[in-house]
Structure 1
Amino acid sequence: MYKISICFISFWSLFMLSLINFILGLFFLIFEKVIFIEWEIISLNSGMIVMSILLDWMVFFFMSFVMFISCVVLNYSYDYMEGDKNIIRFIMLVLMFIVSMILLIISPNLISILLGWDGLGLVSYCLVIYYQNLKSYNAGMLTILMNRVGDVAILLAIGWMLNYGSWNYIYYMDLLMNDMYMLFIGVMILLAGVTKSAQVPFSSWLPAAMAAPTPVSALVHSSTLVTAGVYLLIRFNYLIVSSFLGKFLLIISVLTMFMAGLIANFEYDLKKIIALSTLSQLGLMMSILSMGLIKLAFFHLLTHALFKALLFMCVGGIIHNFKGIQDIRYLGSLEKFMPITCISFNISNLALCGVPFLAGFYSKDLILEYLSMMEVNMLVYMLFYLSIGLTVCYTMRLSYYLVSNFINFYTLNSLMDESWGMLKSEVMLLMGVIMMGSILSWIIFPSPSMICLPLFMKMLVISMSLCGGFLGLELFKLEFNWGLFMLMKYKMSYYFGSMLFMYSIFTFGMNMKMFMVGYSVFKNFDQGWNEYLGGQGMFKSFIMKAKMFQFLQNNNMKIYLILIILWIILLLMLI
């Protein structure tokens, strides 16, 4: 009863707060209002530690979506984690995660941003290792250590901002074009955003974080942890666009988008495919940000949060029913056993592909048409459209394995749609996936964007999507049993399954040398000469001296006789 009351209170509190924030966001957007609140905590010489709060339409909309998805995830978790003895601890960790994200969203100050940033990193580590086994511990260490690079970058930016006397970066936007200090701060902020949003070469932690429970994945990969980097760069966007950092961000984000789409076509783990899909969409958001289209990137951030959370919830239900099986080669024929989950899964997949009049269409189509109007490199342009085709390709492949394929699991099964609590959460998000794309586009872009392009460029999105869908459905149906094709398929699966050897190069490769140097120093210095000359050596020397003095201070006859003999010998020598 206690658990039910906590879940019930958390759900309705977050839902009402989400509704209030959405209404406030509408009000602030229509009347173009911004509220800035400052509270000076302490003043040290010329630097002040100030708690600042920035409230504008972007903050309210983002908080509204975070709280809405969180309340749905908590409602979903109660049934998904049924029977877990530590469910109260799980709910508390999720609530701490939400608080850290909200602190990050409302902060225009680097100090308070760091509090939310570190809170996200710490709580995400606790959630990734929630299932206490070796795989979870390894994934948790990889996640927190790679995010620690971004934390160090923000700490360096905080130290460098002492040159200005305040950590409120919005005061110094006029200095961005010609100030070297602010450019260095921009490099640090870019590094922090890239690590948190898992761009190349920091991409390897995102699929590894799938060791967390599926409700956590739904929250992390939709609106909280991975989107924190995108949101931070939205706030610092003028700095990124006005310098060479924009071109650098464009290169790595487009590479991330293309790489994630390519790897997802060779992955067989259900949750990892969705995680790589998140990575691809993050690359899309970052690339649009690097071109200065802030509203468009934020719009895609919100629509993506809805259908990605729904995708993870449907995947959680499927894994729940299949008793923990995540390999898509064992799944199939879900429409016969789990119709509502299957409908939700396919609609969210179609929204991800950008099918007209679903949430993803309004943002992705607009992004690609804006891209066609901008002066970008032909290689970047081609990679954008190839990535769109690859997105449809792995989505159709996934739908084929889950829906059309014959079931390859147990002959006798008890598959069925989940409990009402899980279905209710899925249906709530399904309504958002269907309706919120158009509603948000009418709100954020009140006047329609008239983009005039040639017929060929207008049809390019549709043609690439159709080509990708055809490849996804037809190419992966073929099972090549000939020697050469089997060898090629094995080699490609191994190459792409290791994320282009990113684990070996950027994770294990960079850590291994440091661990070896640390072990050598520990063995030869800490436990070698340092111990011999320092701690243990001094301890043994003191022991010997103490024993000698203790021996001398013992008042026994032997010492007196020895001293008398020594005294006589000395007298005889002097005489």
Structure 2
Amino acid sequence: MKKINICFISFFFLFFFMLINFFMMIYFIMKNLIIFLEWEIISFNSVSVVMTILLDWMSLLFMMFVSLISSCVIYYSKSYMSSELNLSRFIILVLLFVFSMILLIISPNMISIFLGWDGLGLVSYCLVIYYQNIKSYNAGMLTALSNRIGDVMILMLVSWMLNYGSWSYIFYLDFMNNDYSMKIIGVLVIIAAMTKSAQIPFSSWLPAAMAAPTPVSALVHSSTLVTAGVYLLIRFNNFFSGLFFLKILLLLSGLTMMMAGICANYEFDLKKIIALSTLSQLGLMMSILSMGFYDLAFFHLLTHAMFKALLFMCAGVIIHMMGNNQDIRLMGGISFYVPLTSLCMNISNLALCGIPFLAGFYSKDMILEMVSMSNLNLLIFYLYYFSTGLTMFYTIRLLMYLMVNEYNLLSIYNLYDEDYIMLKSMFVLLFMSLVSGSILSWLIFYYPYMIYLPISLKLMVIYVSIMGLLMGWLISNMNIYSLNKYLMFYNLSSFLTVMWFLPNLSTYGVNYNFLKLGQILNKNIDLGWSEMYSGQGMYKIIKYYSLVSMIYQINNFKIYLFSFILWVMIFIILIMI
């Protein structure tokens, strides 16, 4: 009875909170209101530590989406985690995660932002290692350490802001363009956001975080952890005017989009494919943000949250059904057995592709049209449209493997009927995936963007989508070995499969050398400096020189010839001097 209670109480609390946020947001937009609350905690040497809450339409709208998705995820967990002995611990961790995100959303103050930011990193570590095996521990450590870089940047930001007398970013808007040292704040915020939103070179933790339970993945990868960096940049958008680092961010986020799209086409793990699609969409948000369209980035952030949470929930049902198997090569024809789950899966996948009149279409299409209107070079233009084609590519490939191809699992029949607790929460998000795009486009944009393009550019999105669709259909019918054989060389395909070696660089490349250094230092400390610089050290030096003299005394003609040439060269140099 206790298990049911905590799920239902959490669900109703978050759902009620979502409704309150929704009505407040409508009222705030109509009246053009902003509420700014300050509570001074301590004051010392003209620096006051203030707890601040900022309520405007943006924070209320984002809180509404976070609480809606988290309420659906908790309701879904009631069935998904039903075999869990300690369900209340899991639900409390998820609630802590949500409250950390809400604290981050409503805070304009850098210290309270840091509390929410660090809370997200800490609780995400606890959730990633939830299943307590070696894979989970490794993934949790990689996630925690990658996010620590962002935490350090925020700490440096807090100490740098001591120069100015306030930690609230609202007070810095007046003298932004004049003060050069304010640019440092912009750079630190961008690096912090890049770690949290997993842009190159910090991308490897995001697929690794798939070791967490599926409800956690649905929450983390849709509206909370990975979007924290994007939301922070949206809030700090006034800091970046004329900042050169934005151009670097535009390039890196464009490369992240392309890398994630390519890797998803080589992946066979169902959850990793969806995680890499999240990475691709995050690259899209960060790149449009770096071009200055923060409202478009916020729009895509919200629409993406809906269909991505739904996609993970469908993946969870399918993984359960397949006996906890995540390999898409063993799946196929599931639309016959779980039609309602397949319906949700297909609609969320099509929304991800930007099929017209679903949620993803409104934001994605507007972003690509604004890119076509902007003054960009050919590389960025190519990255945007190539990544859009790749999105269609891996989505159609996934749908072919799941829905169309034959059922390949070894056992003859292990499919069960659909779980209605999971379906109820999925249908809420399905409804939002259908309507949230059009509703948000009316709410966020008071006046329509004037987009004037020639017909070839207007239809460019359709061209690349159709090409991606055809490629996805072809590749899903092709064996992976023949794909490597015909399309690309083995070395290139191995480079593309493993996220451009980013996981290796961020784990072995960073950890191994430092651990080796630590081992050497420990060895020296254990031996003691007196040993190293007297008996042991003397023994090592004598041993080394005896080896050198032995090499000289083995009567090798090459050594004598080399010595003679060296002596002649020294002699000639001395004569010339």
The verdict on a shared fold, with TM-score over 0.5 as the criterion, is: yes
Contact 1:241/1:291 (<8 A) preserved: no
Residue 339 of structure 2 corresponds to residue 339 of structure 1 = yes
Deviates more, 1:23-32 or 1:63-72: 23-32
Q: 1:354: how far off? A: 0.3
Following the alignment from structure 1 to structure 2, what is the Cα–Cα distance between the partners of residues 494 and 76? 37
**8 Å contact from structure 1 (residues 358, 433) kept in 2:** yes
Pair 1:50-2:50 in alignment: yes
| 1:270-300 deviation line (CA, Å, top 9, x unaligned) | 0000000000000000011111111111010
Aligned to 1:180: 180
Change beyond 3 A, Cα 1:380–1:417: farther
* 1:324 matched residue in structure 2: 324
Provide the rounded CA distance (Å) in 1 between the counterparts of 2:152 and 2:319: 37
| Aligned-partner Cα distance in 2 for 1:472–1:338 | 23
Name which one, 1 or 2, has greater alpha-carbon Rg. 1
- Indicate the residue corresponding to 2:15 in structure 1: 15
CA contact (8 A) 1:127 1:216 kept: yes
Question: Partner of 2:314 in structure 1?
Answer: 314
Q: CA 1:527/1:322 → structure 2, altered by over 3 Å: closer, same or farther?
A: farther
Who is 1:117 aligned against?
117
Give aligned pairs, total. Answer: 533
Instruction: Give, in whole Å, the separation in 2 of the partners of 1:287 and 1:499.
Output: 19
Q: Is the 8 A contact 2:3 2:88 kept in 1?
A: yes
Q: Distance in 1 between matches of 2:13 and 2:274?
A: 29
**Partner AA of 1:200 in structure 2:** I
The residue aligned with 1:38 is: 38
Q: Which residue of 2 aligns with 1:168?
A: 168
Deviation at 1:125, TM superposition (A): 0.2
- SS class of match (2:231): helix
In 1, Cα distance between equivalents of 2:133 and 2:506: 24
Question: Structure 2 unaligned runs (5+)?
Answer: 534-577
Shift of the alpha carbon at 1:493? 4.7
Distance 2:521 2:471 in 1: 54
The 3-state SS of whatever aligns with 1:323 is coil
Q: Is the 1:158–1:167 contact (alpha carbons within 8 Å) kept by the matching residues of 2?
A: yes
- In the TM superposition, what whole-angstrom CA distance separates every residue of 1:385-415 from its partner, at most 9, and x where no partner exists? 0000000000000000000110110342231
- Partner amino acid, structure 2, of 1:354: G
Deviates more, 1:409-418 or 1:257-266: 409-418
* 1:5 lines up with 2:5 in the alignment: yes
- AA in 2 matched with 1:243: L
Of residues 174-183 and 299-308 in structure 1, the stretch that sits farther from structure 2 once superposed is 174-183
**Structure 1 residues 348, 480: CA separation in 2 closer, same or farther (over 3 Å shift)?**
closer
Which consecutive unaligned segments of at least 5 residues does structure 1 have?
534-575
| Deviating more after overlay: 394-403 vs 177-186 | 177-186
Could you say which residue in structure 2 is the equivalent of 1:374?
374
Counterpart CA distance in 1 for 2:489 and 2:341 is 31
Correspondence for 1:72: 72
Q: Which moved more, 1:28-37 or 1:86-95?
A: 28-37
Change in CA separation of 1:515 and 1:60 when aligned onto 2, cut-off 3 Å: same
- Structure 2 partner of 1:544: none
> Which amino acid in 2 is paired with 1:415?
L
Q: Which residue does 1:350 correspond to in 2?
A: 350
CA–CA separation in structure 2 for the residues paired with 1:4 and 1:156: 44
Contact 1:340/1:417, CA 8 A, preserved across alignment: no
CA drift at 1:426: 0.8
1:177, 1:243 within 8 Å by CA — same for their partners in 2?
no
Cα shift at 1:40: 0.7
Residue in 2 that maps onto 1:413: 413
* Distance in 2 separating the partners of 1:481 and 1:46: 67
Higher mean Cα deviation, 190-199 or 435-444?
A: 435-444
Displacement, 1:530? Answer: 8.9
Amino acid at match of 2:303: T
Q: How does 1:3-402 map to 2 (within 5 A)?
A: 3-402=3-402
Task: Report the secondary structure of 2:38's partner residue.
Answer: strand
Residue by residue over 1:470-516, the C-alpha shift from the partner in whole angstroms, topping out at 9 and shown as x without a partner, is 10011331227669817957545532232111112233212222222
Contact conserved, 1:254 with 1:380, CA < 8 A, in 2? yes
Deviates more, 1:350-359 or 1:28-37: 28-37
Provide TM-score, normalisation by structure 2.
0.90
The CA distance in 1 between the partners of 2:528 and 2:320, in whole Å, is 53
Deviation at 1:238, TM superposition (A): 1.5
For the residue of structure 2 that corresponds to 1:501, the secondary structure is helix
Change (3 A) 1:385 1:3: same
Query: AA paired with 2:458?
Result: K
Partner of 1:496: 496
C-alpha distance in 2 between matches for 1:504 and 1:91: 33
- Structure 1 pair 80/299, CA: closer, same or farther in 2 (3 Å)? same
Deviations 1:33-59 (A, max 9, x none): 111111110112121111011110000
Residue aligning to 1:558: none
Verify the 8 A CA contact 1:385 1:464 in the aligned structure 2: yes
In the alignment, the residues of structure 1 paired with residue 114 and residue 407 of structure 2 have an alpha-carbon distance, to the nearest angstrom, of: 48
SS class of match (2:355): coil
Which whole-Å deviations, capped at 9, do the CAs of 1:191-211 have from their partners, x for residues lacking one? 110000000000000000000
Instruction: Measure, in 2, the Cα distance between the counterparts of 1:423 and 1:163.
Output: 53
Report if aligned partners of 1:388, 1:464 keep a CA contact under 8 Å in 2.
Answer: yes
Structure 1 residues 483 and 275: CA distance shift in structure 2, 3 A: closer
Distance (whole Å) between structure 2 residues aligned to residue 73 and residue 222 of structure 1: 11
**Matched residues in 2 for 1:279 and 1:310: separation?**
16
CA contact (8 A) 2:484 2:490 kept: no
2:461 aligned partner: 461
Deviation at 1:449, TM superposition (A): 2.8
Distance 1:515 1:179, change over 3 A: farther
TM-score by length of structure 1 reads 0.90
Task: Tell me if structure 2 keeps the 8 A contact 1:267–1:493.
Answer: no
Aligned-residue RMSD, C-alpha:
1.8
Which one is further off, 238-247 or 107-116?
238-247
Deviation for aligned residue 1:525: 2.2
SS at the partner of 2:267?
A: coil
Amino acid at match of 1:416: Y
Aligned to 2:545: none
Which deviations, in whole Å up to 9, do the C-alpha atoms of 1:69-113 show, x marking residues without a partner?
000000000100012112110000000000100000011011001
Shift of 1:307: 0.1
Distance 1:132 1:292, change over 3 A: same
Aligned-partner Cα distance in 2 for 1:531–1:174: 62
Partner amino acid, structure 2, of 1:201: P
Task: Kindly provide the CA deviation profile for residues 427-447 of structure 1, in whole angstroms up to 9, marking residues without a partner as x.
Answer: 111000011111111111233
1:188 offset after TM fit, Å?
1.1
Give the drift of 1:376.
1.0
- Secondary structure of the structure 1 residue equivalent to 2:451: coil
Residues 215 and 312, structure 1, Cα contact 8 Å, conserved in 2:
yes
Please give the alpha-carbon distance, in whole angstroms, between the structure 2 residues aligned to 1:531 and 1:113. Answer: 50
Describe the SS at the equivalent of 1:500: helix
| Change in 2 beyond 3 A, CA 1:100/1:492 | same
State how far apart, in whole Å, the 2-side matches of 1:29 and 1:104 are: 21
Which residue of the partner structure matches residue 561 of structure 1?
none
